Amino acid sequence: MPSTFRIPKAELTGLYGAVVRRISKKMYGEVPDVGYVYFHHKPLLRAVMGFETKVGRWKALDPTYKSLAEMAAASTIGCSWCLDFGYYLARNENLDLEKISQVQVWRTSEVFDETERKVIEYAEAMSSTPMTVTDEMVAALLAELGTEAMVELTQMIALENMRSRFNSAAGLQSQGYSDVCEIPLAPASVGSAS
């Protein structure tokens, strides 16, 4: 389903528009729909791009846990664009697509270990309204991941909440990025998100 663009799609004009098009096409094969929305506010676009570049340098958290958490947050919020793009990124990072593809059905899937289940559960709890995070969840993950990775995990989930809520509110839908992935995303099961 194509994006509905509740916020109109901007025309990528001028030198900055040419740069955005060139970088996007090199990295993703096309301009992500979110780029057209952010282009209406170029200082915000630059700030988000700069922050996302810095986020990409964080290395305290295992990349699989990061991807599982992002996908779980996007699924809980219902951002099809974020699930599509996140799955594509996981493929490009050579993560285990069998696991990443099963996030929406993690409760019944047998591919996850206990730590991965805790990460997904925590991401769902942080992404629910109201939040359902418990002291026990945090303590268990702290014991397994360590403090630095736990801080990074929490921030990644919060960041994915921002992305997913922005993209969903803007009317962005799956753009077909995950179509190139060998293993299709599992469809969400009824009651899969808390």
User: Rounded distance, CA 89 to CA 107, Å?
Assistant: 23
Q: Which residue has the tokens 């900055």?
A: 16
Residues of the chain with pLDDT under 70: 189-194
Over the stretch 34-74, which tens digit does the pLDDT of each residue have?
Answer: 999 999 999 999 999 999 999 999 999 999 999 999 999 99
pLDDT of residue 10: 98
Which DSSP letter does residue 86 get? Answer: H
CB atoms within 10 A of CB 33: 22
**Contacts of residue 109, Cβ cutoff 8 Å, sequence gap at least 6:** 102, 186
pLDDT of residue 106: 97
Angstrom CA distances, 178 to 18, 85, 122, 141, 186, stand at 25, 7, 25, 30, 12
**Contacts of residue 168, Cβ cutoff 8 Å, sequence gap at least 6:** 77, 78, 79, 81
Let me know: does 37 contact 170? Beta carbons within 8 Å.
yes
- In order of their start, the domains of the chain are 14-55 (no CATH), 63-180 (1.20.1290.10)
User: Rounded distance, CA 96 to CA 62, Å?
Assistant: 12
